[in-house]
Structure 1
Amino acid sequence: MQAYSYVRPSAIVGDHLGFSTSGGRTASGLAGNPRFFSGVITQAAPAAAGLLALADVALARYHQPRAGSGAFSRDPVVTADGERLRFESFSACGGVYARLDMMGGALDGEVFDRGTTNVDVNRPLREALARVGGRDPLHLGVGADELTVTTLDGAVVEKKVPLPERWLRGFAEVQVIASGFDLRGELAGMAAVRFLRGLPKRATSSVWVVPTGRDLRVVAGPTRGAVCLSGVGRLATLHPLLRFAKALRVYGPVAGDRVESSAWELELPGMRYTLVLSPEAWRGFSGEGAVLTDLAGEDVSADADVVGMLLNFEPAVEVGLLADRSGLSPERVRAALTQLGTAGRVGYDLAEAGHFHRELPYDKVSVEALNPRLRAARALVEADAVRLEGEGKAHVTTAGGVREVHVTSGSCTCAWWFDHRGSRGPCKHVLAARIAVRAREEAVR
C-alpha cells in the first residue's frame, strides 16, 4: 500500500488553487510536505482543464472498466525544476500515461525549491476545477503553506491506496519506449480539432494514422510511416482540451507489421498535455520489457550510482554532459538512465527529445524485484544453465527442456518468443545468454 499524508486537502478557495503535497525528495533533501511554487497561472482555463484531464486518466480503467475502480486512484506526481511544473499520472489499468507540462510562460511567481512530490486531488477539487472560467484569475500554490483553508481539527489527511509493482514498472517502460519515438505528424489547431473529432466513435477501435502533406489520414492497417492508435477511446481526455489546442503532435516508432505504442501531444497556451498509449488496451506498459536489455549489463548498477549523483532536478538531462562529467560513454550513460528509470528517477520529454530528472515519491524496491524476467535470467546464469556455442548461438537448459537462443537477433525456441516474437522485450533465455556473453567478454579483457 502507498500512504499519502497531507497537511490538509487540496482546494480552490476564491481565486487560489492550493495543492497539498505529500512526501518527496527536493534539491535540499527529503521533505514531508515540500513547498515548490507560489504565483499566478497566466492561462487559468486551459490549466484547470489540463489538470482535470490528468486526474481523469488516474481514475480510468480503459481495459475492462468496472464500477468502483476509481476508489483507488493514485494521486498525481508533480516535479518542479525551477522553470516549469510537470504533473504526471497513470491510468488504473497501467496502459495510459499522462503528463501536463506547465512551462515558464504559463507561470508567474516564486520558486521555493526543486523536486518531486505527490499532490492531493480529491472530488471537491475536481468539481472546482471544472468551474474555472476563461477569464478567471487563478493563483497557484504547490505546497501546504499556500492553502487558506484547514480541517476543523487540524488533523493530517491520510490516504492509503494499493501501489502494484506493475504500476511503478510502467513509469520505467514509458520513458524507455518514448525515447525511441520520432515526430510522425503535426496539425495546427483547427485541423487537429477536425482530425480528433473525426476518429471512429467506437472506443475500442484500432486504426493507423499516416501523415499526408499537412494532414493526417486514418488507414485500416499498418503502412510505411504510419502510427498505431490502439483503442481510440483512450484519447478521450484530449477532447475537453480541444478548445484551447494550438497544435497536435503525434509520435511513434517506425511502423512495422504489428501494433505499437504511440504518443499524442496537445500544445496548449503555455502548456503541453501528452498521452502515451500502450500497444493495446489490454496491455499495460509494465509488461513490455523495454528496459530489460539495458538492465542486463553487469556495470549498469554502478554506472547508475555515478550518474544518479550528478542529477539535481535540472530542466533537461543532457547525455553528453553527463558522459563528460562521469567519464562514461554515452551508451553507458543511456543504460544508466534506464536503470534510474526503473526507480522512477528519470522521465522522457518527447517535445524536447530528452530525459528529465524526477524522483517518484514511492517506497523504493529493488530493480530485479520489479523485473521478474531479469531475475529469472540471472538465476539461470548462476545455475550454469547457459552454454555458449559458435555463430552467436546458445543453449539454455530449463526445467521445461533446452532452449536454443540466437543472441544477436533475440530469437528463442521457447513459448514466450513464439507468442510475442520480441514485441514485449527479450525472454529470460535470451537475457541469460546475453548476460553470459558479456561476462565472457569481461573475463578476456
Structure 2
Amino acid sequence: MGVRGFTTASSVTRDRLALALAPALTPDGPVASPSFFHGFATEPQVVARGLLSLADITATRYFKYTPTTQRDPVLTAHGDRLRAEVFSACNSVYARLDLLDSGLDGGEVAYGTTNVDIGMATRRALASVGRDELFHLDVGLHGLTVATPSAAAAERRVEMPDRWVPALGNVAEMHRRLARVFTLDRAAARTLLTSIPAATAAPSAGWLTPTAAGFRIAPRRTDRAVHVSGLHRLSALRRLLPHVTGLTVYGPADGEPGAPAFEVELPHARLLLGITKEAWRGFSGEGSLLSALAGPDVSDHAALVSALLAFEPVIDIERLRRESGLTTAEVESGLAVLAASGRVGWDVHEHAHFHREMPDDPERAVRDNPRVRAARRLVAHRLVEPGTEPGEWLVHAGTRSEPATYSVRAADGDFRCTCTWQLTGGGDRGACKHVLAVQILMEEIR
C-alpha cells in the first residue's frame, strides 16, 4: 500500500486496547490519522488472542520452519465488522479474523482499509489480557497519544510484503471455488486443535475425515474427507482453544487434494485459516486468476465495478449488474481484476465477495502476472494460429535460436498444452502462457 508509516504504536493496559493504524483509504479518500472504532469489546480475550494468532502466523515461515520478522496485518472496517488479514512469512498460510458488530459495543464501526500495528511489545501485552467485563477498544487515533514533531523521526514504516497483493487475489479465487464439507461441534473442534502439531514439527499430511465420534486423520481418501498437507500450519489456531465453539472445514468440490480452509467459530468472531496445497507453495504464485485476467475488456469492467464499491462486507452482484449496465459475467470478470489488485476478497462463510481498498493501480493485475503479459505478446505478434484438427491451436514460442511450437487443445472449456509446464503438473497453478494466448485470441474472434 505504498511507503507509509505508523506515527504511534499500539498499546495495551489492563482495561484498554488501542490499535495504531497507518494512513487509510476510506470512502472520503486518503485519511492520515484514521479512527475505525471507539467503544468496548464484549469478548476481550477473543480479540486479543485472535490478533495474537495473526501475529504468530505472519512471523512464521512454516516451510523449513524459521521464525522471522513481524508484518503488519491489513485491516478493513466494513461498518458492521472489522476484518484483519495476514499471510505467513512463507506465504503458504492465509488468515483472517472477523470481529463482528455483536461483539463491538458503544460505538460505530467506520469504513476503510489500512494496516494495523501489532509489534512485539503489543504482542507481549496482548498475552496478558483477561476476561474483564469492561474492556475499552480503540481502533485508530482516538485512543492513542499522537507523536510530537520531535518524535516524528521515530515513525515506523509499514511492513507489508508486495507479494501480499497478488496473494490476496489468488486466495479470493481459490476460496470462491471451495465447498463446505463438514462442521465439527465444540468438543470435536477443540480435540482437533489440541492434536495439531507445533509449528516446528516436521510436515505431515492426511485426510481429515468426519466420524460419529468427531474426526480422524486417515491415510486414504474416504467420503467427505479433506486432504491436509502440512498439519503444523494450523498450529496458530491453538491460541483460541478455550473460546472455540465449532470448526467448519472447506475443501475442493471434487474432493481432490487442494487448498483447504478452516473456519473457527468464536463468540462474536470468526477466524479463517487457509493453506496452500503443499507447504512449499505460496499463495502469490498460485495463478488462480490468470484466465480471468486474459480477457480483452476485463479492465474496463473492473473500472465500472470499482466505482460502485463502498467497503461492503458482502458485495451484491445483482446490484452491481443493475447499476453498471454490465452482464453478470462481466461483473464477475471485473471483480476478478479487482481481486488480483487486492481490492476484493472472498468470504467462505457468507459465500460472497467483500470489498477492501488498495491504492488504484489499473496495470497492477497484469504486471503481477507475467504469464498474462507473455500471452498478450504472443497474440500481438500473431504467433497463435488454428491447427489442423478440430479444437487445436498452434502457439509458436521459444526463442530465435531455439524456436518451439506447442499444441493447445480446447474442448468444453478445458485447455491442454504440450509444454513442459503443463506436462509436469504446473497446470494446477494456473494456465500456461500458451493456453492464455489461445483464450485471448478466441475471445477476440468470437
| Corresponding letter in the other structure for 1:143 | G
In 2: Cα distance, 1:33 partner to 1:190 partner: 43
SS at 1:63's partner residue?
Answer: coil
Identity of aligned residues (%): 40
Measured at CA, do residues 97 and 300 of structure 1 come closer, stay the same or move farther in structure 2, by a change above 3 Å?
same
Corresponding residue for 2:186? 189
Correspondence list, 1:67-106, <5 A: 69-70=68-69, 73-106=70-103
Equivalent residues of 2:75, 2:82 under 8 A apart: yes
| Corresponding letter in the other structure for 1:429 | H
Bigger shift: 362-371 or 418-427? 362-371
Structure 1 residue 361: deviation in Å? Answer: 5.9
Corresponding residue for 1:371? 369
Equivalent residues of 1:185, 1:216 under 8 A apart: no
Structure 1 residue 388: deviation in Å? Answer: 2.1
Equivalent residues of 2:8, 2:145 under 8 A apart: no
Corresponding residue for 2:301? 303
Structure 1 residue 159: deviation in Å? Answer: 3.2
In 1: Cα distance, 2:266 partner to 2:202 partner: 24
In 2: Cα distance, 1:362 partner to 1:438 partner: 27
Structure 1 residue 120: deviation in Å? Answer: 1.1
Corresponding residue for 2:206? 207
In 1: Cα distance, 2:362 partner to 2:126 partner: 32
Equivalent residues of 1:75, 1:119 under 8 A apart: yes
| Corresponding letter in the other structure for 1:116 | T
Corresponding residue for 1:56? 56
In 2: Cα distance, 1:165 partner to 1:392 partner: 39
In 1: Cα distance, 2:147 partner to 2:54 partner: 25
Structure 1 residue 216: deviation in Å? Answer: 2.9
Equivalent residues of 1:38, 1:141 under 8 A apart: yes
Corresponding residue for 1:265? 263
Q: 1:406 aligns with which of 399, 405, 409?
A: 409
Equivalent residues of 2:19, 2:138 under 8 A apart: yes
In 1: Cα distance, 2:353 partner to 2:33 partner: 26
Is 2:125 the partner of 1:122?
no
In 1: Cα distance, 2:339 partner to 2:210 partner: 32
SS at 1:196's partner residue?
Answer: helix
Equivalent residues of 2:188, 2:215 under 8 A apart: no
Corresponding residue for 1:15? 15
Bigger shift: 135-144 or 35-44? 135-144
In 2: Cα distance, 1:241 partner to 1:111 partner: 26
Structure 1 residue 214: deviation in Å? Answer: 7.2
Corresponding residue for 1:349? 347
Instruction: Give the CA RMSD over aligned residues.
Output: 2.2
In 2: Cα distance, 1:425 partner to 1:416 partner: 10
SS at 2:424's partner residue?
Answer: helix
Structure 1 residue 329: deviation in Å? Answer: 1.8
Structure 1 residue 198: deviation in Å? Answer: 3.3
Equivalent residues of 1:410, 1:422 under 8 A apart: no
Could you give the per-residue CA deviations for residues 23-73 of structure 1, whole angstroms, max 9, x where no partner exists?
Answer: 221011111221111000000111110011011111111112335x22xx3
SS at 1:336's partner residue?
Answer: helix
Structure 1 residue 381: deviation in Å? Answer: 0.7
Equivalent residues of 1:23, 1:361 under 8 A apart: no
Structure 1 residue 326: deviation in Å? Answer: 1.4
Equivalent residues of 2:196, 2:235 under 8 A apart: no
Q: 1:415 aligns with which of 417, 420, 429?
A: 420
Equivalent residues of 1:77, 1:119 under 8 A apart: yes
Measured at CA, do residues 165 and 382 of structure 1 come closer, stay the same or move farther in structure 2, by a change above 3 Å?
farther
* Pairs aligned (count): 437
Corresponding residue for 2:237? 238
| Corresponding letter in the other structure for 2:278 | E
Q: Unmatched 5+ residue regions in structure 2?
A: none
Corresponding residue for 1:429? 434
Could you give the per-residue CA deviations for residues 49-104 of structure 1, whole angstroms, max 9, x where no partner exists?
Answer: 0011011111111112335x22xx32011111111111111111111111110001
Measured at CA, do residues 156 and 22 of structure 1 come closer, stay the same or move farther in structure 2, by a change above 3 Å?
farther
Measured at CA, do residues 157 and 131 of structure 1 come closer, stay the same or move farther in structure 2, by a change above 3 Å?
same
Is 2:137 the partner of 1:140?
yes
SS at 1:432's partner residue?
Answer: helix
In 2: Cα distance, 1:151 partner to 1:242 partner: 41
Is 2:288 the partner of 1:285?
no
With the length of structure 2 as denominator, give the TM-score of the two structures. 0.92
Equivalent residues of 1:2, 1:162 under 8 A apart: no
Measured at CA, do residues 206 and 421 of structure 1 come closer, stay the same or move farther in structure 2, by a change above 3 Å?
same
Measured at CA, do residues 323 and 149 of structure 1 come closer, stay the same or move farther in structure 2, by a change above 3 Å?
closer
In 2: Cα distance, 1:214 partner to 1:301 partner: 50
Structure 1 residue 406: deviation in Å? Answer: 1.2
| Corresponding letter in the other structure for 2:366 | E
Equivalent residues of 1:349, 1:356 under 8 A apart: yes
Measured at CA, do residues 133 and 152 of structure 1 come closer, stay the same or move farther in structure 2, by a change above 3 Å?
farther
Corresponding residue for 2:219? 220
Equivalent residues of 2:196, 2:234 under 8 A apart: no
Structure 1 residue 398: deviation in Å? Answer: 0.8
Is 2:335 the partner of 1:337?
yes
Measured at CA, do residues 305 and 349 of structure 1 come closer, stay the same or move farther in structure 2, by a change above 3 Å?
same
SS at 1:437's partner residue?
Answer: helix
Is 2:33 the partner of 1:30?
no
Measured at CA, do residues 362 and 125 of structure 1 come closer, stay the same or move farther in structure 2, by a change above 3 Å?
farther
SS at 1:36's partner residue?
Answer: strand
In 2: Cα distance, 1:435 partner to 1:281 partner: 32
Structure 1 residue 424: deviation in Å? Answer: 0.9
